[in-house]
Amino acid sequence: MTKTSLWGGRFSGGPADALARLSVSVQFDWRLAPYDIAASRAHARVLAAAGLLDPDELGRMLAALDDLEAACASGEFRPTIDDEDVHTALERGLLERLGTLGGKLRAGRSRNDQVATDLRLYLRDHARGLAVALVELADALTEQAARNVDTAAPGMTHVQHAQPVTFGHWLLAHVHPLLRDLDRLRDWDARAAISPLGSGALAGSSLPLDPAAVAKELGFAAPAPNSMDAVADRDFVAEFLFVTALIGVHLSRLGEEVVLWTSTEFGWVELDDAFATGSSIMPQKKNADIAELARGKSGRLVGGLVAVLTMLKGLPLTYDRDMQEDKEPAFDAIETLQLLLPALAGMISTMTVRVDRLAAAAPVGFSLATEVADWLVRRGVPFRDAHEITGQLVALCSVRGCELEDLTDDDLAKVSEHLDPSVREVMSVESALAARTTPGSTGPGPVAEQLALVQHKLDSWRQWAVEKVVPR
């Protein structure tokens, strides 16, 4: 085995063990190996185009990189405790295959532009994987919404009954944040599609390289316009972590609602046994652990964003070793969502909605009061007065322990001369929902239209989500 170091010529001895242990990153950055090899192929071709590799050397170099990639994929080639990072390990593998020829690949590039390139490639690739999982969760919510377009439910504000809604509308309200998350991923990808390779350590290269050709081969839109910014920039990591943190917040809110819906007090939803857990001491328990983990893991995702922003805030240009701390939060965010999103999709797609419980709860808590106020407004009563009159009706019901529809005609007349028996036309959940006909509202008609729009948007996302970033 060849022992490799990418630096050390001016040093009289090796690093202290404490420094070596602190510096090593290969235990987490090894996952960048396929992307580093892809970038190495592109770099080898521009070296050949610059006359720094002859055709035979280029052929041998590309063949060795192909062999090294296969060995990495199979596990035949792995990093060792002597490899400082993924770049050191891969150069060792190349030298073992090519001897001194392998050393020519280092010309015109630095670990600074290598790692910035590798990480962009890795995150762009995995952003699409997250998009696939987000679409699957959105699909699960949309399918449940389609089954509940007409299902009445008690809409909430302040976790108090507010106005009747359809449960399909409620479920779709969780889809729209996911659609915005997908939009943010694609917007982020457009900004991340800039290639740092060719920037060297910070100043570019005196060799006649072609950063534009490298960028094109690696699926980037363009090479970086400023070599110093290219190696110092970690906006793409921080922004990616913002997107994943916001995804985590959206999943946490969904998780909290599922916890409520499945509680004995609500009883609106029953989870499938395959997506719930029990208790080690209480045989009757059925716990919404996936939903609870969605809440819990949001803190982890937010923490990764804060860690990277804090690390970056005081760094001078250009590269500083502090930036080694950019990778683990990004890797962790991806791994967290890769675990969480499929579990949530399975939980949502298999849950049973208790339509009877939802319908029974929909009118409870005077949720039809606003319908009465709106009915008065349509009769010419100023809303300020209509609000006051309806509030008096609610107060009377509270004293008597009854609902609005239980009041007699005499009761209505005593509260206000504007109230007559025809107000009962709006004192039903069905009429309240049917009255909601404006775009985006909770009536069955607008919800059906919204459902079709959401399904169309999700269909448009599927192709982008499965695109490959790095061509072979």
pLDDT tens for 325-341 read 999 999 999 999 999 99
In terms of domains, do 325 and 423 share one? no
108 close to 198: Cβ distance less than 8 angstroms: yes
471 close to 219: Cβ distance less than 8 angstroms: yes
Nearest Cα to Cα of residue 3 among 89, 103, 97 = 89
Domain count, the chain: 3
In terms of domains, do 355 and 385 share one? no
Does the residue 266 lie in any domain? yes
The total of other beta-carbon atoms located within 10 Å of residue 315's CB is: 13
Does the residue 456 lie in any domain? no
Does the residue 142 lie in any domain? yes
Which CATH number is 247's domain given?
1.20.200.10
Question: What is the distance between the alpha carbons of residues 313 and 291, in angstroms, rounded to a whole number?
Answer: 34
In terms of domains, do 224 and 177 share one? yes
Does the residue 74 lie in any domain? yes
Pick from 304, 332, 359: which residue ends a domain? Answer: 359
pTM: 0.92
Question: Going by C-beta distance under 8 Å and a sequence separation of 6 or more, which residues neighbour residue 398?
Answer: none
Which CATH number is 55's domain given?
1.10.275.10
149 by DSSP, 3-state: which?
coil
Give me the catalytic one of 12, 25, 74, 158: 158
Question: What is the distance between the alpha carbons of residues 118 and 17, in angstroms, rounded to a whole number?
Answer: 28
In terms of domains, do 48 and 133 share one? no
Give me the catalytic one of 23, 263, 279, 398: 279
In terms of domains, do 85 and 116 share one? no
The pLDDT score that the predictor gives to residue 471 is 54
In terms of domains, do 245 and 122 share one? yes
Active-site residue 279, yes or no?
yes
- List, in sequence order, the alpha helices (H) in 281-415: 289-312, 327-350, 355-361, 369-378, 383-400, 409-415
In terms of domains, do 386 and 311 share one? no
Determine the structural domain holding residue 206 and report its residue range.
112-146+166-212+220-359
Does the residue 460 lie in any domain? no
Lowest mean per-residue pLDDT among 20-24, 234-238, 257-261, 333-337: 20-24
279 by DSSP, 3-state: which?
coil
157-208 pLDDT, tens digit each: 999 999 999 999 999 999 999 999 999 999 999 999 999 999 999 999 999 9
In terms of domains, do 354 and 423 share one? no
Does the residue 170 lie in any domain? yes
Pick from 319, 334, 359: which residue ends a domain? Answer: 359
Does the residue 159 lie in any domain? no
In terms of domains, do 264 and 294 share one? yes
Lowest mean per-residue pLDDT among 78-82, 255-259, 392-396: 78-82
**Structural element, H or E, at residue 352:** strand 352-353
Does the residue 464 lie in any domain? no
Per-residue pLDDT band at 9 (split at 50, 70, 90): low
Which CATH number is 406's domain given?
1.10.40.30
Question: Going by C-beta distance under 8 Å and a sequence separation of 6 or more, which residues neighbour residue 235?
Answer: 191
In terms of domains, do 343 and 375 share one? no
The pLDDT score that the predictor gives to residue 1 is 47
In terms of domains, do 183 and 292 share one? yes
Residue 16: DSSP 8-state: P
In terms of domains, do 133 and 200 share one? yes
Residue 231: DSSP 8-state: H
The total of other beta-carbon atoms located within 10 Å of residue 6's CB is: 14
Pick from 76, 91, 107: which residue ends a domain? Answer: 107
